[in-house]
Structure 1
């Protein structure tokens, strides 16, 4: 049951520590962003309305949409995917429902018109914009690479410029290898492995980036066999799951991707195109490609 009582707000460190400890199923690199996406939706509601209250009837579709768009491929129904975090976030002791309902069960959520919200002491702390910004940043960076994080924040009703400019989190991140991006660009001749774009401004490469195949935040190493050079557009499409790699190192395009313009439809032309590889460049490892197909790529691929 929801009981709103006067409580002492948590400190910034308490908020970040509690949110960092959300129970997530990430064994063997599997992604499960459902709970964090729900908390981000609650933060978006809090920023807009001054309350984290989310009614199941008004939230189920939106939560299902962000899970579909930013979560791994899944055969689970939309409403079932949304019911999982809406009910199970209670076990993390930061979320409460106004009716006692079983975990993962959609029907009682609808029948009882269930409403959920963050617990009062957490909600009160998150009314501080600095704490809320740091919390949102920690949540989104724990699940998504920099190419995707702004899109996630926009989708849940938060301002990416404000959040991603927030103070650093209290939880130290895994350290990246600073030389890895330059090594990837060199190995791929400073051109996009998908389309060949090779922009330069003076001696500086512009619009071409080092992309992890298996995301860094999910065990992806900073090694040459876990990266390709991609233009900014194709890097984003790769991390969104629009583009992927087949076992034969040919590009595959998600059948879920659509475009109405001739410019956007050039993405279709990438389907089955081989990677542009410099002789001697290490091939992306099969294990990393398999992770991306399983956890990121929006199956099925185009046919033909």
Structure 2
């Protein structure tokens, strides 16, 4: 996509949202709100997000794709809804106190993207897709990004152009690019089997259903190194990146109490809790620093009791 000065300013402003953290923890609250607004715009032509929608939908997005907070769901949504104004891309239709749910409900406040940005996105649909693509890939791994787009009403197919053109998702050649050999090296180091359940499916000698998973996400400065990689089946990779499953400091598997299942098949995930990683002799385990990052930034809730 050809990017002019106005488009560059918009993309740069949106890209800066990635830097926001709360007490050292990643905080995708503002990016999720912007993505929700982009989804609204793609569907209706307007980026307007009434608080009545944000209170429910944004709260759900934060719960599913964010990191847990010791606040109520509505309160968690009120933070980005009021504070995104400071980033210069979001406006509310009336002044209300920061972070307070009551006034948002009482006055039926509506937020929207800043008018000049909205006009630019409306005139150039490809820019809307580029903004969504850069934002979601800077915040979430490949396993989760498509789910985020679907949840906000955007087409996950827009990620395909990113994968073909720019593996960082941030549009700058000077930024980090993924190693072309890391995936192969990780799978080989873990004997091409899931480190959690041991699945090692093949078709005609080709590994199938096994991914190379970053412990510390690549989008958050996780290195393409063997001590930051696990071979995981696609199911456990997804659960790992969603924070339903994690690792302890002793490198045993922990399952979150937030994960639930009703069938015997689903409940097999519970059986992972307390299990040691399945790794071949000589394979370096994930580094403690990367495990700590995943535990504090991704793992949701509390682990199951032993």
Structure-2-length-normalised TM-score = 0.91
User: Is the CA contact 1:10–1:125 (under 8 Å) kept in the aligned structure 2?
Assistant: no
On the 8 A contact 1:198/1:205 being kept in 2, the answer is yes
Q: Does 1:34 align with 2:20?
A: no
Mapped to 2, the partners of 1:208 and 1:235 lie a distance apart of 9
SS at match of 1:152: helix
Which 5+ residue runs of structure 1 have no aligned equivalent?
1-8
Per the TM alignment, residue 143 of structure 1 is displaced from its structure 2 partner at its CA by 0.3
* Whole-angstrom distance in 1 between the partners of 2:237 and 2:190: 14
Residue matched to 1:144:
140
- Native 8 Å contact 1:52 1:117 kept in 2: yes
DSSP 3-state at the match of 2:111: strand
- How far off its partner does 1:58 sit? 2.4
Deviation sequence 1:48-89 (CA, Å, 0-9, x none): 111111111222111011011111122122112111111111
Alignment check: 8 A CA contact 1:140 1:149 kept: yes
Instruction: State how far apart, in whole Å, the 1-side matches of 2:84 and 2:113 are.
Output: 10
Cα pair distance change 1:66/1:123, threshold 3 Å: same
CA distance 1:122–1:10, change in 2 (3 Å):
farther
Matched, 1:117 2:118: no
Query: Which deviates the most, 55-64 or 22-31?
Result: 22-31
Matched residue pairs, number?
Answer: 296
Tell me what 2:52 maps to.
57
User: Aligned residue for 2:83?
Assistant: 88
Question: What SS class does the counterpart of residue 239 from structure 2 fall into?
Answer: helix
- Structure 2: where are the runs of 5+ without partners? none
Cα distance in 1 for partners of 2:77, 2:19 equals: 15
In 2, are the aligned partners of 1:64 and 1:81 still within 8 Å (CA)? yes
Are 1:134 and 2:130 counterparts? yes
Are 1:98 and 1:116, in contact at CA under 8 Å, matched by a contact in 2? yes
The correspondence for 2:237, drawn from 235, 238, 247, is 235
- After superposition, the C-alpha distances for 1:11-39 in whole angstroms (9 at most, x for unaligned) are 43232122112373348973111111000
Relative to structure 1, the CA distance from residue 164 to residue 40 in structure 2 (aligned partners, 3 Å threshold; closer, same or farther) is farther
Residue of 51, 68, 75 corresponding to 2:70: 75
Query: How many Å apart are 1:233 and its aligned residue?
Result: 0.9
Distance 2:58 2:157 in 1: 22
Instruction: Return 163-172 or 57-66, whichever deviates more.
Output: 163-172
Give TM-score scaled by structure 1 length: 0.91
1:106 and 2:107 correspond: no
Identify which of 239, 251, 254 aligns with 1:252. 254
Answer yes or no: is the 8 Å Cα contact 1:23–1:92 preserved in 2. Answer: no
Query: Does the aligned pair in 2 maintain the 1:137–1:164 contact within 8 Å?
Result: no
- 1:219 CA displacement: 1.8
Match of 1:5 in 2: none
SS of 1:21's equivalent in the other structure is: helix
The equivalent of 1:261 in structure 2 is 263
- Decide whether aligned partners of structure 1 residues 23 and 277 sit closer, same or farther in structure 2, where only a CA change above 3 A counts: closer
Higher relative contact order (CA 8 A, sep 6+): 1
Runs of 4 or more above 6 Å deviation: none
Query: Counterpart in 1 of 2:171?
Result: 170
Asked if the contact 1:17/1:171 (under 8 Å) is kept, the reply is no
Q: CA RMSD in A?
A: 2.0
Q: Give the direction of change, closer, same or farther, for the CA distance of 1:188–1:25 in structure 2 (3 Å limit).
A: same
Show the 5 A alignment for 1:14-25.
14-22=9-17, 24-25=19-20
